[in-house]
Structure 1
Amino acid sequence: MVVVAGGAVVESEVSPSYKGYRFPAEVIGHAVWLYHRFPLSYREVEELLFERGITVSYETVRAWCSTFGPAYARNLRRRRLRPGDKWHMDEVFIKVNGKRRYLWRAVVQDGNVLDIWVQSKRDGRAAKRFFRKLLKDLECVPRVLVTDKLRSYGVAHREVMPSVEHRSSKYLNNRAENSHQPTRQRERAMKNFRSTGAVQRFLAAFSRISTLFRPRRHLITASDYRAEMTERFRLWKTVTGAAAHA
């Protein structure tokens, strides 16, 4: 079920289950937040938790991130605002186990990530698959589609969403290109990615969680920034279930 209220799309939400876990939701949620928000390794998260009197192994942190990261990201996705009417799309190559893969990304004009997908190619067929995945998940179409001059986008645009205005320019698509920077930071911190499935799962969660805590700071005052971050941390406690367990 989907309920639209105040511009937000809210689906029925399933809170993560912490049954059988020794640590409470607040601790697990904090560990997952540290790993996805900052370019940290599992061992570094282990050390930060130890400084706060929480003794866990880095393998436990890895298990928490693998289990709860995607769950938190799904809850954030269910609470997403309706996407804007201008979508920016871009692709960038990444190395996965020494092989070149392409990370496709769609971003709205306010910088929020709509979706990402890792594929082995960046031809017209790959672009069409990504377009169809977006339309299926979002159940809406944009007013304007902004891409660079890669011809694959033109092929996909003509076949998948021909009614949408398509603007193709390397100067108009900085919004999508800049959104790749956090991924590059994580790629360096993780010393490259190991498998396509693992990188898809990680980046899908990372794109949701990291973006939540990256408001456009340069566009708002200090007081508005603090208020915005307070609200975002409140939302984080809700999606992780920490608020219910407080």
Structure 2
Amino acid sequence: MKKTKTPRTTLAPGLAKVLKRLHYPLEVILLCVRWYVAYSLSLRNLEEMMDERGIAVDHSTVYRWVRKLLPLFEKTFRKHKLPVGKSWRMDESYIRIKGEWKYLYRAVDKAGDTIDFLLRARRDKVAARRFFEKAIAHNGAPETVTIDKSGSNLAALNAVNADRETPIKVRQIKYLNNIVEQDHRAIKRRTRPMLGFKDFHSARVILGGIEVMHMIRKGQMKCMGKDPLSASRQFYSLVM
């Protein structure tokens, strides 16, 4: 197997500790983790693909790598995420976990760049407000937020505005939200081969990795150096 090139060789804080119990070459681990969040592949697909390359790795082992490493990728990516616009489009999408529908809150700016995301068990005012608070904490406050006709989303924004000197302008215009609804499809396309998540925590971790890869592809990562890096090298640079 040809080794995957990475831009740096120093491991990110926390990665060395995790790798102590993962008894495989680093390039194999990182390749499997990236492919899982970047492409429409199941864990068993990855097991077969590695076997074709002469590497015996069980799909359950790949799953453990994914669960352990993706939080490190997401944490580091947030430090290098480029600023987003002040006009937000917010909506929620459905995610199946253990046979039940849960809710992935997401927002993009008018250019289509991802602002933030949050998986919640319920679709209500509390969940929507928690999403807005998280998004504002990480990205600063927007000037305008466009939502659909959801009463819970409107109530959440009204609650956020109640604590602000300068209120956020709220628009409930469905057609303006087409951009975020279209963006949901990229996430749905990746989760479809998974046939549902096993538990809420795993879903939150894996969705975070998928969102990170999606943002990297959209050019939302601040890269060091003069030469632009490919999406794959940007992903690896988060831990190397």
TM-score band by shorter chain is 0.7 to 0.9
Give 1:232's aligned residue.
231
Between the aligned partners of 1:20 and 1:120, the Cα distance in structure 2 is 32
Aligned partners of 1:46 and 1:56 also within 8 Å: yes
Give the alignment of 1:167-178 within 5 angstroms: 167-178=171-182
Q: CA RMSD in A?
A: 2.5
Structure 1 unmatched ranges of 5 or more: 1-12, 217-227, 242-246
1:172-224 CA-partner distances (Å, limit 9, x unpaired): 011211121133223431112232222122212211123323569xxxxxxxx
Between the aligned residues of both structures, percent identity stands at 30
Corresponding residue for residue 72 of structure 2: 71
* Partner residue in 1 for 2:53: 52
Choose from 194, 208, 212 the match for 1:208.
212
Q: Could you say if the C-alpha distance between residues 234 and 202 of structure 1 is closer, same or farther in structure 2, counting changes exceeding 3 Å?
A: closer
Residue in 2 that maps onto 1:219:
none
Change (3 A) 1:46 1:91: same
Deviation at 1:20, TM superposition (A): 4.8
Corresponding residue SS for 2:174: coil
Q: Which amino acid aligns with 2:57?
A: V
Contact 1:73 / 1:209 at 8 angstroms: preserved in 2? Answer: no
Shift of 1:36: 0.5
1:46-101 Cα shifts (integer Å, max 9, x gaps)? 22222233332212211111111221122122110122212211012233222232
Q: Give the direction of change, closer, same or farther, for the CA distance of 1:19–1:186 in structure 2 (3 Å limit).
A: same
1:76-115 alignment runs, 5 A limit: 76-115=77-116
Give the distance between the partners of 1:144 and 1:199, measured in 2 at CA: 30
Q: Aligned-pair distance for 1:121?
A: 2.7
Q: Do the aligned partners of 2:146 and 2:170 also contact (CA within 8 Å) in 1? A: yes
Measure the CA separation in 2 of the matches of 1:128 and 1:85: 18
Task: Provide TM-score, normalisation by structure 1.
Answer: 0.78
SS in 1 for 2:106: strand
How many residue pairs match? The answer is: 218
TM-score (norm 2): 0.80
